[in-house]
Structure 1
Amino acid sequence: MGFFIVLISFVVGIGGFVFGVDSGIMGTTLGHDTFKLYMLGPTMKNASLTGAIVSVYNAGQAVGTFFTGYLADKIGRKWTICGAAIIATLGASLQAGARNVGMMIAGRLFAGLGCGMMLTVVPVYIAEVSPPKNRGVIVGIQGLMISLGFCIANWIGYGGAFASGNAQWRIPLAMQIPGAVALAIGCIFIPYSPRWLVQQERYEDAKAVLIKLHGDQGDDYLAQEFIQIRDQILLEQSAKGTNFMQAIGQLFSRQYIRRTGTACFILAMGQLSGSTVIQNYQNIFYATVGFHGKTALLISGIYGFMGLIGQIIYMLFVADRWPRTRTLWTGSVFLCVMISICMALSAEYPAGTTNKAGPRAAIAAIFIYSAGYAVFFNAMVWVVPSELFPFFLRSKGLGLGVFTKAVVAIVLAQVTPVALENVGWRYYALFIATNFAAAFIYFFFLPETKGKSLEEIAELFGDTLATEQLGHINVAAKEPAIHEQIENVEKKV
């Protein structure tokens, strides 16, 4: 695992940091009375409007995925990420300067649009520059940056409590800007994805990037890797074409529907695990067990550290060591248990109880839940979907997965405030059921992809593999047209 790969992965991983800050900052913002007074009126309560402020961010993510797949293939992964960072900067600026709730919602929409684009392209880019044996760790950098951004967002929100007036929430919202600006600038200096360069027939540029990425592996490895990437992309282009709308249709074809469904399911279950609900509405949860104001914000700050700790545990002990399937089904069972404990404690020790041990135990369960989610899911929900698709579908397929994730998040954001008001702790039963169902699906139906190249993973789903064991196979008998294309390419390079 070369230093250069790690460096550029951290640069584009700033996209995960931006998402972590943008999504985490609203949880603490909703805990400031000055914000609720300014946006919700004298009563400082409006469950539907609160849900709209949260869910419009997810709506922006959904919209962002519609054209991200096209842009990622047309102008390249790096410039799509750069454009997303600029849009996120605009969204953060609108939020920090919001004069009314409409302007705030518009800011959240643009921030979601930018983050939806980042969530689609960043894991694709990282997966395409990573060596197979280290892909879980490298793509996990995005999860690490998400956790770091979320942790910092919670402490920024807590720090805002010590400001006066509307600065309590305006300054924290403005702190979404630096990360987005840093990402936009950093994208200028990172290389193009070698697989995108091959698709554009920029073969010499692709070779140069591969040398920078994997030069320590030796000339034979580099030559074989280039051949494998080139031959597989040529095979896909000949068999499926390069038209964008044709590619979208292929996502739902018999050959690719299982991969499409798997990616959408994994990203949707990242939401239905309960993580986003707890993240965005943690201050409401803390209030249900008796903690308010600065105390609740302080708890939020400590809560943010749990995800960061869990992500570090993942990087050191789980990534590329545990099989992907075991990580996901074990994690689902773990979350199911922790939410069950939290639900039972919330039922037994509601707000106003004189027994402080119960509420503290409920918060401890939420903390352990957060750490567990980071260990098992925070990175893995991006690692596996980014591996499933062939090159010509990768950005579109992940875009559809992020769209599914965003739609589920929109529904949860709208439903959660109302559900917590009306059914309280019983609402968590939903996430017990969804985590149990996810564990069943992962255990019995998810294929193992650890340690395989992106081209080899396609073979697990029945695709024709243009190269085998990083060497040539003779495709002339099966695909004469492809054989002629490969010979023409060899003459060029």
Structure 2
Amino acid sequence: MGQVYNISLAIFCAIGSFLFGYDSGIISSVITLPAFKSFVNNPKNYDSLSGAVVSTFTGGCFFGAATAGWTNDKFGRIRTVQLGVIIALWGCAMQSGANNFACMLIGRIVAGFAIGVLSMTVPLYNTEIAPPKYRGFIVGLTQQMIGIGFIVANWVGYGCQFLKGNVQWRLPLGLQLAPAALLLLGSFFMPQSPRWLLEHDRDDEARRVVHTLHGSSASAQEEADVEFAEMRETIKAEVLVRSRSITDLWATRGMLRRTFVAVGVQVFGQFSGINVINYFGPSMYRALGLSAGQSLLVQGIYGAVGPITNFFFITLILDTVGRKKPLMFGAGSFVVTYSVLTAIVASFPPDESTNLAAQRAGIAMIFLTSIFFSLSFGPVSWVLASEVFPTRTRSIGTSVATCANWAFNVLFSQVSNIAITNISWRYYLVFIVLNAIDFIIIGLFFPETKGLTLEQMAELFGDEVDAHDVLQCAAAHEKLNHDHLETEKA
């Protein structure tokens, strides 16, 4: 029963990730629609303006993720989710009702800020409610729901091309309001993270949440008591030495390594180039010689491939093989797929060649990139970035890692459409080099974290602070103060 509750809770919270996927994915279709091009009304600079529509969103995401580190510590995970959803409703309404291009950009920034908050908070919350043996699956639901959001966005975009007038782009943007409203209503029934409750001396509430998450059977309740005792001891010790400063992320060798791993896995996920395909897939397909309608259709089919692969991976593989091997597999695979894609586009230029076999091979490489991403960085980046930090820095650490993700997302979303148009296949060489470097770094420096509780990460990373020692010192210090006061009274 506890497992079912955990998974149900995680799936519902991951509606925030669905919103992330839909909001990110729908724009790849919207910027290709004739009605939206007429709305922008600047055909000479359309490539740079469409890039701005994407990059302003991802820029907002960066600042949202940065802000969420503070709000998660101050107000908790659930209140931060609610804040993100309320802002999302505002931004999505501005986009769908925009009466000029400036209003559209502001709506994208506001919605991006909200998605930045949710993209950091959802995996953080799911990490803290998940039992160790299912944590990969539960946190991997983040990528699963992002993928489902992309599927829905791609097919909505494909269908909306047959509509007339501005409803062609207003409707797909307005549909973002539905999952946001659903998550807002449901969030009032979700429990707070027990680890956050312990940090704020709400121990009884934390105990009740842990027992609820484990289920009602006698064995489950015993497991809950053991987990709660370990959780409480470690977190109380961390609170005593907590400074709430970003410098904590590199204050010790162990913390520096944690930060390097968390930021690295998020940035390397961007180096996969997956968001270039997600945002500008139709442009890439046209570069392979497909028509605008064919490009949207292929993008819709492409969107289904990743989530199906991701589901089987997080269900059957992730918690068995761990984190490091899939990451190395992914980086190595991307080197191969981008090398083949580069060779195809260079050898058979779309404006000079009508080789259908080359077109199909190029599309196959893009599809394989999505499959390999879903078997590696897609789910693993969210799991690893949120599980490596101790409770005292998990919020700010996850925030910094997510900000790094969005920073590179901004970079690629701004330059990719222009690069694909102007330098074609040469742009893919960047991803070949980056993923080759990633493969080496992951192999040399990334640890394996599967099966460990969040509190056991301290031993893996060689933390200098021991919970038992800190608590004993604190108890001795408290006793000394008490004895001193009694002496003064006497």
> TM-score, normalized by length of structure 2?
0.93
1:298-309 mapped onto 2 (5 Å cutoff): 298-309=297-308
1:98-137 mapped onto 2 (5 Å cutoff): 98-137=98-137
Task: Give 1:475's aligned amino acid.
Answer: D
**SS of residue paired to 1:2:** helix
Deviations 1:127-157 (A, max 9, x none): 1000001100110111110110011100010
Give yes or no for the alignment of 1:454 onto 2:454. yes
2:326 equivalent in structure 1: 327
Work out the CA distance in 1 between the residues paired with 2:249 and 2:60. Answer: 22
Do the aligned partners of 1:336 and 1:436 also contact (CA within 8 Å) in 2? yes
Work out the CA distance in 2 between the residues paired with 1:219 and 1:308. Answer: 34
- Change beyond 3 A, Cα 1:106–1:171: same
Give yes or no for the alignment of 1:19 onto 2:12. no
Deviations 1:11-45 (A, max 9, x none): 1111110000010001111111221221142x264
Shift of the alpha carbon at 1:225? 1.1
Work out the CA distance in 2 between the residues paired with 1:444 and 1:479. Answer: 37
Deviations 1:300-347 (A, max 9, x none): 100101111221221233220112110101111112111111111111
Do the aligned partners of 1:36 and 1:44 also contact (CA within 8 Å) in 2? no
**SS of residue paired to 1:192:** coil
Work out the CA distance in 1 between the residues paired with 2:181 and 2:307. Answer: 23
Choose the corresponding residue for 2:252, options 251, 254, 257: 254
Question: Which segments of 5 or more consecutive residues in structure 2 lack a partner in the other structure?
Answer: 480-490
Shift of the alpha carbon at 1:88? 1.2
Work out the CA distance in 1 between the residues paired with 2:401 and 2:417. Answer: 25
Shift of the alpha carbon at 1:103? 0.9
Work out the CA distance in 1 between the residues paired with 2:370 and 2:87. Answer: 29
Work out the CA distance in 2 between the residues paired with 1:30 and 1:435. Answer: 29
**SS of residue paired to 1:168:** helix
Deviations 1:147-201 (A, max 9, x none): 1001110001001011111111111111111111111111111101011111111
Work out the CA distance in 1 between the residues paired with 2:119 and 2:464. Answer: 29
Task: Give 2:199's aligned amino acid.
Answer: Q
1:470 equivalent in structure 2: none
- Change beyond 3 A, Cα 1:484–1:320: farther
1:435 equivalent in structure 2: 435
Do the aligned partners of 1:151 and 1:305 also contact (CA within 8 Å) in 2? yes
- Change beyond 3 A, Cα 1:58–1:485: farther
Ranges of 4+ aligned residues in structure 1 off by more than 4 Å:
464-467, 482-486
Shift of the alpha carbon at 1:466? 5.3
**SS of residue paired to 1:196:** helix
**SS of residue paired to 2:371:** helix
Do the aligned partners of 2:214 and 2:221 also contact (CA within 8 Å) in 1? no
Do the aligned partners of 1:325 and 1:446 also contact (CA within 8 Å) in 2? yes
Work out the CA distance in 1 between the residues paired with 2:453 and 2:478. Answer: 23
1:86 equivalent in structure 2: 86
Work out the CA distance in 2 between the residues paired with 1:238 and 1:20. Answer: 39
Do the aligned partners of 2:17 and 2:118 also contact (CA within 8 Å) in 1? yes
Task: Give 2:474's aligned amino acid.
Answer: A
1:159-198 mapped onto 2 (5 Å cutoff): 159-198=159-198
1:4 equivalent in structure 2: 5
Choose the corresponding residue for 1:229, options 228, 231, 242: 231
Work out the CA distance in 2 between the residues paired with 1:263 and 1:220. Answer: 33
Moved more, 168-177 or 248-257: 248-257
1:288-367 mapped onto 2 (5 Å cutoff): 288-352=287-351, 353-367=353-367
Work out the CA distance in 2 between the residues paired with 1:302 and 1:483. Answer: 64
Shift of the alpha carbon at 1:96? 0.7
Work out the CA distance in 2 between the residues paired with 1:250 and 1:3. Answer: 36
Question: How large is the Cα RMSD of the aligned pairs?
Answer: 1.8
**SS of residue paired to 1:218:** helix
Work out the CA distance in 2 between the residues paired with 1:425 and 1:74. Answer: 47
Do the aligned partners of 1:232 and 1:465 also contact (CA within 8 Å) in 2? no
Deviations 1:221-272 (A, max 9, x none): 222211111111111111234xx3xx31211323422211221111111111
Work out the CA distance in 2 between the residues paired with 1:378 and 1:9. Answer: 17
Do the aligned partners of 1:475 and 1:482 also contact (CA within 8 Å) in 2? no
2:482 equivalent in structure 1: none
1:388-467 mapped onto 2 (5 Å cutoff): 388-463=388-463
Task: Give 2:429's aligned amino acid.
Answer: A
Work out the CA distance in 1 between the residues paired with 2:478 and 2:332. Answer: 49
Work out the CA distance in 2 between the residues paired with 1:89 and 1:483. Answer: 51
1:355-394 mapped onto 2 (5 Å cutoff): 355-394=355-394
- Change beyond 3 A, Cα 1:483–1:464: farther
Do the aligned partners of 2:334 and 2:372 also contact (CA within 8 Å) in 1? yes
Moved more, 345-354 or 10-19: 345-354
Moved more, 322-331 or 62-71: 62-71
Do the aligned partners of 1:310 and 1:374 also contact (CA within 8 Å) in 2? yes
- Change beyond 3 A, Cα 1:387–1:485: farther
Work out the CA distance in 2 between the residues paired with 1:64 and 1:234. Answer: 29
Do the aligned partners of 1:306 and 1:371 also contact (CA within 8 Å) in 2? yes
2:486 equivalent in structure 1: none
Work out the CA distance in 2 between the residues paired with 1:72 and 1:392. Answer: 12
**SS of residue paired to 2:331:** helix
> TM-score, normalized by length of structure 1?
0.93
Work out the CA distance in 1 between the residues paired with 2:203 and 2:285. Answer: 56
Work out the CA distance in 2 between the residues paired with 1:180 and 1:80. Answer: 14
Do the aligned partners of 1:24 and 1:150 also contact (CA within 8 Å) in 2? yes
1:480 equivalent in structure 2: 473
**SS of residue paired to 1:124:** helix
Do the aligned partners of 2:198 and 2:236 also contact (CA within 8 Å) in 1? no
Work out the CA distance in 1 between the residues paired with 2:324 and 2:236. Answer: 31
Do the aligned partners of 1:234 and 1:485 also contact (CA within 8 Å) in 2? no
Shift of the alpha carbon at 1:485? 7.3
Do the aligned partners of 2:337 and 2:366 also contact (CA within 8 Å) in 1? yes
**SS of residue paired to 1:238:** helix
Moved more, 28-37 or 184-193: 28-37
Task: Give 1:37's aligned amino acid.
Answer: S
Shift of the alpha carbon at 1:372? 1.4
Do the aligned partners of 1:151 and 1:307 also contact (CA within 8 Å) in 2? no
2:281 equivalent in structure 1: 282
1:76 equivalent in structure 2: 76
- Change beyond 3 A, Cα 1:290–1:406: same
- Change beyond 3 A, Cα 1:219–1:485: farther
Task: Give 1:126's aligned amino acid.
Answer: N
Choose the corresponding residue for 2:242, options 240, 259, 283: 240
Work out the CA distance in 1 between the residues paired with 2:144 and 2:195. Answer: 25
1:27-106 mapped onto 2 (5 Å cutoff): 27-41=28-42, 43=43, 45-106=45-106
**SS of residue paired to 2:447:** coil
State, as a whole percentage, how many aligned pairs show the same letter: 36
1:491 equivalent in structure 2: none
Do the aligned partners of 2:157 and 2:172 also contact (CA within 8 Å) in 1? yes
**SS of residue paired to 1:320:** helix
Shift of the alpha carbon at 1:82? 1.2
Shift of the alpha carbon at 1:482? 5.0
* Equivalent residues, number: 474
Do the aligned partners of 2:18 and 2:147 also contact (CA within 8 Å) in 1? yes
Work out the CA distance in 2 between the residues paired with 1:324 and 1:101. Answer: 43
